[in-house]
Amino acid sequence: MDQQWKIETRNVQAGWQPKKGEPRVLPIYQSTTFRYDTAEEVADLFDLKTSGHFYSRVSNPTVAGFEEKLASLDGGVAALGTAAGHTACMLSVLNICTAGDHFIASTALYGGTLSMFTCTLKKLGIEVTLVAPEISPEELRGHIRANTKCIFGETLSNPSLKVLDIEKFAALAHENGMPLIVDNTLATPYLCRPIDFGADIVVYSATKYLDGHAVSVGGAIVDSGKFDWSGGRFPELTEPDPSYHGVVYSQQFGAQAYIVKARVQWIRDSGAYLSPMNAFLINLGMETLHLRMECHSANALALAEFLEKHDKVEWVNYPGLPASPEHDRLRKYLKRGSGVLTFGVRGGMKAGEKVLNSLKMAAVVVHVADVRTSVLHPASTTHRQLSVEQQREAGVSPEMVRVSVGVEHIDDIIADFAQALEQV
């Protein structure tokens, strides 16, 4: 494959590279297992002495096609498909944090990630400190402890739509010998490549724009291969692993140490691997990622401009609007504004509900980032498990309506919101 290819070309051409007589399109390898000739060959695979697919709980050729494409798009050395985006977020942290460890995360996160970090990981003995994305370097340094293992943030947060200052957090992580993990779900590699700005690990909910058609749940972790694990903070990567006959990941796998460990420990033990069918569908979606992201972004900007001028709308949050406080950072880190916006209707929660219920084309669904325009009320759904205070910290207000702007004709999208606003 040509590494010089532009991202549009790699969306279509990267990943599956058929040899003579093989299927042109990434095939679905719907097989749990793979044939070898001798017991020794299989034993070597188990010992990680050689590489090859042997069991679809750990790796599969269809999923590998998706993994190779995504790693290429992001400029990483390797990627790992996971059963869901949530799995990717969780394993990205568990891969380097054990009981007694601590990490730092931005408050501007997806609701499910916030409760996973503050409740589920806490039960496993891993403590998180949540910090405002605007935190000063001095203040952030004050939160770093001897047992702090990483910093976690979202490129474009869902649903508060804050743009992460990736360079600031990467510099602070690196000066303290730890990696920056970035959830790039709403941006996608087409709008932003976090590794170019210093992120070390990138995670995705592939359920969103990568698939793009709301047909499959999946996720991924991408390893930049740039982080040096040998500083002493990460013995799990630099000391023998008893569950693999004492393999030392950083020695045996070099730049791929983190991602190999995530696969052979966490995916092996949890089985939370992406299925071949879902990898096939997500890969198919990714072939048009660049076309869709341009259209989502243009439509979202046009709808944001319409709502901004509407006298029944109190506020609009879309980082693509020049008036947005996020606009300068958007221009630095992202090619476009992506397809999600939020707004508040005058009259608060009741009026917001009326608009939601009056939409005819845009459907109320618990999803973002597919081709169909959809709406959601975060406070009563995705962020329901959080207190009002936590909701506010995550950028969710009671009246907020979240719109995932689709790729329908913009006139039809605007007409739907115009008629719904008239019902208030």
Q: Which residues contact ligand PLP (rule: CB under 6 A)?
A: 84-86, 89, 110, 112-113, 154, 158, 183, 185-186, 205, 207-208, 217, 219
CB half-sphere exposure, 255, CA atoms < 13 A: 10
Task: Count CB neighbours of 100 within 10 A.
Answer: 9
Tell me which residue has its CB nearest to ligand PLP.
85
Query: Which of 65, 81 has the CB closer to ligand PLP?
Result: 81
- Helix H or strand E encompassing 203: strand 201-205
DSSP 355-374: HHHH-SSSEE-S--SSSS-E
Least distance in angstroms from the C-beta of 366 to ligand PLP = 9
Least distance in angstroms from the C-beta of 420 to ligand PLP = 24
What are the CA-CA distances from residue 352 to residues 228, 257, 259 (Å)?
49, 48, 44
Least distance in angstroms from the C-beta of 239 to ligand PLP = 31
Query: Which of 233, 292 has the CB closer to ligand PLP?
Result: 292
Least distance in angstroms from the C-beta of 209 to ligand PLP = 10
Fill in the amino acid letter for 48: L
Least distance in angstroms from the C-beta of 84 to ligand PLP = 3
Is 175 exposed, middle or buried (CB count within 10 Å of its CB: 0-12, 13-18, 19+)? exposed
Query: Which of 378, 416 has the CB closer to ligand PLP?
Result: 378
Phi and psi torsions of 356, nearest 5°:
-55, -45
Query: Which of 220, 413 has the CB closer to ligand PLP?
Result: 220
CB of 165 within 8 A of CB of 329? yes
Query: Which of 157, 299 has the CB closer to ligand PLP?
Result: 157
CA 315-207-2 angle, to 5 degrees, is 110
Query: Which of 170, 210 has the CB closer to ligand PLP?
Result: 210
Least distance in angstroms from the C-beta of 251 to ligand PLP = 33
Q: How far is residue 153's CA from residue 378's CA, in Å, rounded to a whole number?
A: 19
Least distance in angstroms from the C-beta of 102 to ligand PLP = 21
Query: Which of 183, 223 has the CB closer to ligand PLP?
Result: 183
